[in-house]
A = this chain, B = another copy of it.
Amino acid sequence: MDQLQQLNLSCPLPLGNHSRIQLAHGGGGRLTQQLIRTLFLPEFQNEWLEPLHDGARLPVSGATLAFTTDSYVVSPIIFPGGDIGRLAVNGTVNDLAMCGAHPLYLSAALIIEEGLLIETLQRVARSMREAADEAGISLVTGDTKVVDRGKGDQLFITTSGVGLIEPGVTIDPRRAAPGDRILVSGPIGRHGIAVLSVRDGLAFESPIESDTAPLGGLVEAMLAASKEIHVLRDPTRGGVASALNEIAGSAHVGMRIHEAAIPIDEAVQGACELLGLDPLYVANEGRLVAVVPPEDADRVLAAMREHPAGREAAAIGEVTADHPGLVVLRSRAGGDRVIDLLSGEQLPRIC
């Protein structure tokens, strides 16, 4: 119990009317969606804004661009398997990939807390460069702001990315259709558990490293197998459960996934059991979920398994006409339960 308190785990909050922002508004679950739907969408209505996709598809002089942005506020900023710099580059590269775009250009805006060690900043800058090189994207513009001590938390990084979508590729969460197969590119939950493992001195017996990795190459291999991939999504905060719920909601379809088919490392499974976390809700930073027409699914899955980032890919379920908007898990024992969006936040500041 002490250990749980140390971890700053917060209970899922009930829905309701808040007059002030809660941590759960940033958790990627129901309150985040409510905030976006009630506060931002009424202001910003335009034909390109699709709030629950990972980026926007935009016409620019005859071509189709993808444009995406994300702020990274992970705590701590250095964790097993990566740091905030690598995360910020990979995260935006992956959001471009989830639009089916070839990554081109990256921007980075840093908000630094006064007092940050310059050598820490150097390490993060190096990580960003390495991640950008690995993903084949050029950092072309940036900004640096400094806030007074106690008004930030070491370092926040916001990256934005521009990519080019090939003609004929239309990745869109609304395209998920009954009969489609649901694929996942590898074992889930590693990033969240890796970050958690270094908070407040918690240590697991076997170290769990973040899965942070660029997914552009994997997506290219998948698109080479079939341009008819309907949806791609990287299940970051809120995990696979939230990603599937968002897709089911956008496309007004149901989803059924099979517990026995979902790849999870033993160490992650053990840590989740110890901490009372459901791995379906734990963040990933180097995994994707794909929704693929049934006739192409085996070909796409085979292509994923041939790519280093998808070696442990698996088919975990299918899209249904039944129960639109709901994701249902068939347990190992054969029972069904609804995998809902969390109202609150399982793990704050995870990305």
Contact = CB atoms under 8 A, between A and B. Distances in A.
Interface of A: 8, 18-27, 32, 35-36, 39-40, 43-44, 46, 48-49, 51, 55-56, 58, 60-63, 65, 67-73, 75, 104-105, 107-119, 121-122, 125-126, 128-129, 132, 138-148, 150-153, 156, 158, 160, 162, 164, 348-349
B141 A67 contact: yes
A262 to B, nearest CB: 27
B60 A138 contact: no
Chain A facing B: main interface SS = mixed
A21 B121 contact: yes
B152 A116 contact: no
A145 B40 CA distance: 14
Leading 4 A-B pairs by shortest Cβ distance: A26-B146, A160-B160, A158-B158, A69-B107
A73 B146 CA distance: 8
A118 B18 contact: yes
A162 B141 CA distance: 12
In the complex, the count of this chain's copies comes to 2
17 contacts: A8-B148, A20-B114, A25-B144, A26-B147, A36-B144, A39-B125, A40-B142, A58-B105, A60-B63, A61-B63, A69-B108, A69-B141, A71-B158, A73-B111, A73-B145, A111-B158, A146-B348
Nearest to A63: B61
A296 B197 CA distance: 63
A344 B72 CA distance: 28
A60 B126 CA distance: 27
Given A21-B116, A26-B112, 8 more contacts: A25-B144, A39-B122, A46-B140, A48-B105, A67-B107, A75-B151, A151-B152, A152-B152
A71 B111 contact: yes
Contacts of A148: 8, 23, 348-349
A123 to B, nearest CB: 11
Contacts of A26: 112, 144-147
A119 B348 CA distance: 23
Contact of A71 (B73, B110, B129): B110
Contact of A144 (B35, B111, B146, B160): B35
A22 B146 contact: yes
A116 B18 CA distance: 11
Given A36-B144, A140-B56, A145-B73, A67 B162 contact: yes
A27 B114 CA distance: 12
**Most B C-beta atoms less than 10 A away, residue of A21, A36, A104, A112:** A21
A46 to B, nearest CB: 5
A247 to B, nearest CB: 17
A60 B60 contact: yes
A58 to B, nearest CB: 6
A143 B69 contact: yes
Contacts of A128: 43-44
Contacts of A113: 21
A23 B147 CA distance: 7
A32 B68 CA distance: 27
